[in-house]
Amino acid sequence: MENILAIETSTDTCSVSIGNYEEVFSYHENIPQQHTENLLSIISNLLDKSKLSYEDLSAVAVGIGPGSYTGVRLSCSVAQGIAFSQGLGGITLSSLELLSLQAYEETSSNSIVAISEPNMGKFYVVESTFLEGDMLSKSSLISEEAFHREAFPKESQFVGGGCASFADITNQLPGAYPRASYLLKFALQKLNQGDLIEPEEILPIYLNDENSWKKIK
């Protein structure tokens, strides 16, 4: 049985899942500024509950931001360390694309727009279209003044902490944070396809890293 550890700490919520297609063990709690001291113990507790060890893992998956600088750096560092020590491949997904996947599964809307919380007056935006379950995404970095609701399809559902900054967004999904359980489902598909990266390629997207962000498709 192929097992994956999935980690997502780009927001105040710490989210970790371990499992496979048949059984998943998860932790998902809002613990602001407590990720660093708690993440490894959360992983250890989930391994105990699942009766698995690091040696039973087939891959490690991580949400790579954008988001909290400390949170994104932490999750990537821990994922890299586990992957290196166990000889595992990695699977990464931007945290906004993860939010889009969640929103699609919860609403069945074919048009999802995920918006990050602002940093220095800029917002990261992922516009995703879903065709027969496949996600096609494009990303951008914009200012508050450059955002126009009419630039997106009328039927679009909006998600993410940045939505509250725009009064003309009336169909925002409330209380949405990236969840490791959805990342795990995505990662299991990637593992079956053999679509893994080397541990040193597990790298974060920082909120002020415009060049890195443009590389994400």
CATH number of the domain that residue 102 is part of: 3.30.420.40
Residue 213 confidence (pLDDT) above 50: no
Q: Is residue 62 part of a domain?
A: yes
User: Model-level pTM?
Assistant: 0.92
78 and 34, same domain (yes or no): yes
How wide is the angle at C-alpha 213 spanned by C-alphas 209 and 214, nearest 5°?
125
Tens-place pLDDT, residues 158-195: 999 999 899 999 888 876 799 999 999 999 999 999 99
Residue 214 confidence (pLDDT) above 90: no
Reduced to 3 states, what is the DSSP secondary structure of residue 120? coil
22 and 46, same domain (yes or no): yes
Q: Is residue 56 part of a domain?
A: yes
Residue 206 confidence (pLDDT) above 50: yes
Say what the pLDDT of residue 212 is: 44
Say what the pLDDT of residue 124 is: 93
26 and 89, same domain (yes or no): yes
* Over residues 14-40, mean pLDDT: 96
Number of domains, the chain: 2
181 and 89, same domain (yes or no): yes
Tens-place pLDDT, residues 130-166: 998 789 999 999 999 999 999 999 999 999 999 989 9
Q: Is residue 14 part of a domain?
A: yes
Q: Is residue 171 part of a domain?
A: no
86 and 53, same domain (yes or no): yes
Q: Is residue 172 part of a domain?
A: no
Q: Which own/partner contact pairs does 50-58 have at CB distance under 8 Å and 24+ positions apart?
A: 50/3, 50/18, 50/19, 50/23, 50/25, 52/3, 52/18, 54/82, 54/85, 54/86, 55/86, 56/3, 57/3, 57/4, 57/5, 57/82, 57/86, 57/88, 58/2, 58/3, 58/4, 58/88, 58/191
135 and 183, same domain (yes or no): no
Say what the pLDDT of residue 211 is: 46
84 and 104, same domain (yes or no): no
Tens-place pLDDT, residues 40-92: 999 999 999 999 999 999 999 999 999 999 999 999 999 999 999 999 999 99
| Domain final residue pick, 143, 165, 187 | 165
* Over residues 34-42, mean pLDDT: 97
Q: Is residue 109 part of a domain?
A: yes
Which of residues 108 and 5 earns the better pLDDT score? 5
127 and 28, same domain (yes or no): no
111 and 135, same domain (yes or no): yes
Q: Is residue 141 part of a domain?
A: yes
142 and 205, same domain (yes or no): no
156 and 189, same domain (yes or no): no
204 and 153, same domain (yes or no): no
Residue 207 confidence (pLDDT) above 90: no
Q: Is residue 170 part of a domain?
A: no
Domain that holds residue 150: 96-165
